[in-house]
Structure 1
Amino acid sequence: MITNFDHIMSNKSDGELIKIVTVDVHKYQKEAIASAQKEIEKRDIDSAKFETIATKALIEKRIENKLNQSEVSTASRIVNFIVDLVSFWIIFFVIAMLINIIFTIDLNNDLLIWGILLLAFFLYYIIMEFKFQKTIGKFITKTKVVNLYGKKPSLNDIIIRTCCRLIPLDRVSFLFTKNGFHDKISNTTVIKD
Structure 2
Amino acid sequence: MKNTSFAITADLLASRGQRFLNFCFDLVFLYIIILSIGTSIILIAEVANEFTVSAWVENLSNGEIAFYSVLIMLLYYSLTEIYFSRTIAQLITKTVVVNKDGTKPDIKMLVIRSLCRFIPFEPFSFLGTNPRGWHDTFSNTYVVKKKKLAKNVRVFNDQEEFAQSI
Q: Same fold (TM over 0.5)?
A: yes
Q: Determine whether 1:144 maps to 2:100.
A: no
Contact 2:112 2:139 in 1 (8 A): yes
Note the C-alpha offset of 1:71: 0.7
Question: What is the rounded CA distance, in whole Å, between the counterparts of 2:142 and 2:99 in structure 1?
Answer: 6
Superposed CA deviations along residues 37-69 of structure 1, whole A, max 9, x for unmatched, are: xxxxxxxxxxxxxx9xx73xx42xx4143xx32
Partner residue of 1:76? 18
5 Å matches for 1:58-97?
58-59=4-5, 62-65=6-9, 68-97=10-39
Note the C-alpha offset of 1:88: 0.7
5 Å matches for 1:1-193?
55=3, 58-59=4-5, 62-65=6-9, 68-101=10-43, 102=45, 103-104=53-54, 105-108=56-59, 109-176=61-128, 177-193=130-146
Partner residue of 2:153? none
- Segments of 5+ residues of structure 1 without an aligned counterpart are 1-50
Aligned CA distance change for structure 1 residues 95 and 151 (closer, same or farther; 3 Å): same
Superposed CA deviations along residues 84-103 of structure 1, whole A, max 9, x for unmatched, are: 11001111111222333443
Question: What is the rounded CA distance, in whole Å, between the counterparts of 1:84 and 1:178 in structure 2?
Answer: 18
Matched position secondary structure for 1:191: strand
CA root-mean-square deviation: 1.8
Note the C-alpha offset of 1:149: 1.8
- Bigger-Rg structure (1/2): 1
Matched position secondary structure for 1:186: coil
Matched position secondary structure for 2:138: helix
Partner residue of 1:12? none
Matched position secondary structure for 1:145: strand
Instruction: Give the TM-score normalised by structure 2.
Output: 0.74
- Segments of 5+ residues of structure 2 without an aligned counterpart are 46-52, 147-166
Instruction: Give the TM-score normalised by structure 1.
Output: 0.64
Matched position secondary structure for 2:7: helix
Amino acid at match of 1:70: L
- Percent identity, aligned pairs only? 36
Note the C-alpha offset of 1:156: 1.1
